[in-house]
Amino acid sequence: MPEPLPDSPLDSLSAEAAATGVLPGTPEMQIAAVEAGADRPSRGRFRGLGIGAWLCMGWLVLIIGAALLAPILPLDDPNDTLGGVIANKGFGAGGHLLGGDSSGRDLLSRTIFGARNSLTVGFGAIIIGTVIGGLLGLLAGYYRGRIDTFIVGLLDVLLSFPALVLALALVAVLQDRVSDLLTLVLALGIISIPVLARITRANALVWSQREFVMAARAQGAKDWRIMIREVLPNVLPSAFSIALLGVAVVIVAEAGLGTLGVGLSTQSPTWGNIINDGRSDLTSGTTPHIVFVGAAMVFLTVLALNYLGDVVRARFDVREAGI
């Protein structure tokens, strides 16, 4: 079993978690964790959402709706080359809103079917990460002691690998066992476990000390009941805001792996694969629009998720809730 990890400045930070909250993990998450306090204009908890939040939500609803409805929307088959008539043609060519990719497949259709895959990976991975990471964090924060030491040690081993490097290794392990899609969901789910576990642990540590938990214990409630009924509901909001940011990170990771040609098979439309398909046309200077379409989808979706994650955090943050 790993020793309790170095109680470094980093660790003392993560113990006060929430006060300073420098979390190891992805940039977006770090920022999210770090920025919580001081300089954010204090929004009233029940004040209406700003225009930005509505725009972001609108974009996400649009994308998720299109992804869900893709099979019944009037779109070409995402893998139909259409006889190559719109191969490498730009926006609007032949009545195709986003033009065609290098093999002549309708880019709008690939984008929307790509949203299906990219969002499945994003949300699927984070659901795995939140469930497993949340459980580990809850156990560690509630029981402390040896269990805590063991879980934190485990997380620290996972965190010793740069996330993308670990993801690549996991893809290598999984790719011949399960389907491509499941490989990606599992690999990216596993790398998101430590971050979600840490934030849950930090919060569970604080909440497990509160009076109502002691009261429940004094009344003879079982540990699992206290964890689920008393601690979990209080820990969820912060885990949720980090999970939203996590979806964004996973979408970027999928796009990155797709760009490396390691993700889903190149036939399946994903935003990463669209970018990868268009790369040679971009570097040769013929048709940049293929990469730009994939890039724009990733950018806008990640922007929306980051923004909403921020809004959620600002509303449910443990620190601000008390004020």
Partner 1 sequence: MSTIVKKLIQLVVVLFFVTFFSFSLLKLIPGDPVDTLKPFATPEQKATIRAELGLDKPFFTQYYNWLKGFVKGDPGRDYSTGEPVKVGIGKALPVTLQLVFYAQIIALVVALPLGILTAYRAGSWFDKITNTSAFGLLALPGFVLGLILIYYLGVQWKILPTQQYVPFGENVGEHFKHMILPAVSLAVGQVAIYMRLLRSDMIQTLQEDFITMAKAKGLTNRRILLRHALRPSSFSLLTVAALNVGALIGGAVIIEAVFQLPGLGLKLVQAVATRQYVALQAYVAIIAVAYVAFNALVDILYVVLDPRIRHARAVA
User: Is there a contact between 126 and 189 (Cβ–Cβ < 8 Å)?
Assistant: yes
Is residue 303 at the binding interface for partner 1, with CB under 8 A as the rule? yes
For partner 1, the closer CB: 103 or 283: 283
For partner 1, the binding residue among 44, 285, 322, 323 (CB under 8 A) is 285
Is residue 15 at the binding interface for partner 1, with CB under 8 A as the rule? no
For partner 1, the closer CB: 172 or 321: 172
For partner 1, the closer CB: 206 or 252: 252
Is residue 267 at the binding interface for partner 1, with CB under 8 A as the rule? no
AA letter at 44: G
Is residue 115 at the binding interface for partner 1, with CB under 8 A as the rule? no
For partner 1, the closer CB: 158 or 221: 158
Which residue's structure tokens are 């993801």?
167
For partner 1, the closer CB: 195 or 235: 195
Binding residues among 203-232 for partner 1 as defined by CB under 8 A:
none
For partner 1, the binding residue among 46, 48, 72, 176 (CB under 8 A) is 176
Is residue 5 at the binding interface for partner 1, with CB under 8 A as the rule? yes
Shortest distance (Å) from residue 3 CB to partner 1: 5
For partner 1, the closer CB: 57 or 295: 295
Residues in Cβ contact with 25 at an 8 Å cutoff, skipping those fewer than 6 apart = 159, 163, 194, 195, 198
Q: Which two tokens stand for residue 34?
A: 């770090």
For partner 1, the binding residue among 49, 69, 172, 215 (CB under 8 A) is 172
For partner 1, the closer CB: 98 or 232: 98
List the one residue out of 251, 319, 285 whose CA is nearest residue 63. Answer: 251
Binding residues among 177-196 for partner 1 as defined by CB under 8 A:
177
Rama region for 26: left / alpha / beta (φ>0; ψ in -120 to 50; rest): beta
Is residue 28 at the binding interface for partner 1, with CB under 8 A as the rule? yes
Shortest distance (Å) from residue 98 CB to partner 1: 17
Is residue 320 at the binding interface for partner 1, with CB under 8 A as the rule? no
User: Residue count at the site for partner 1 (CB under 8 A)?
Assistant: 65
Cα–Cα dist 268/263, whole Å: 10
Residues of this chain that interact with partner 1 (CB under 8 A) are: 2-3, 5-6, 8-10, 12-13, 20, 22, 24, 26-28, 30-31, 34-35, 37-39, 153, 156-157, 160-166, 168-173, 176-177, 248, 252, 255-256, 259-262, 275, 279, 282-285, 288, 291-292, 295, 298-300, 302-303, 306-307
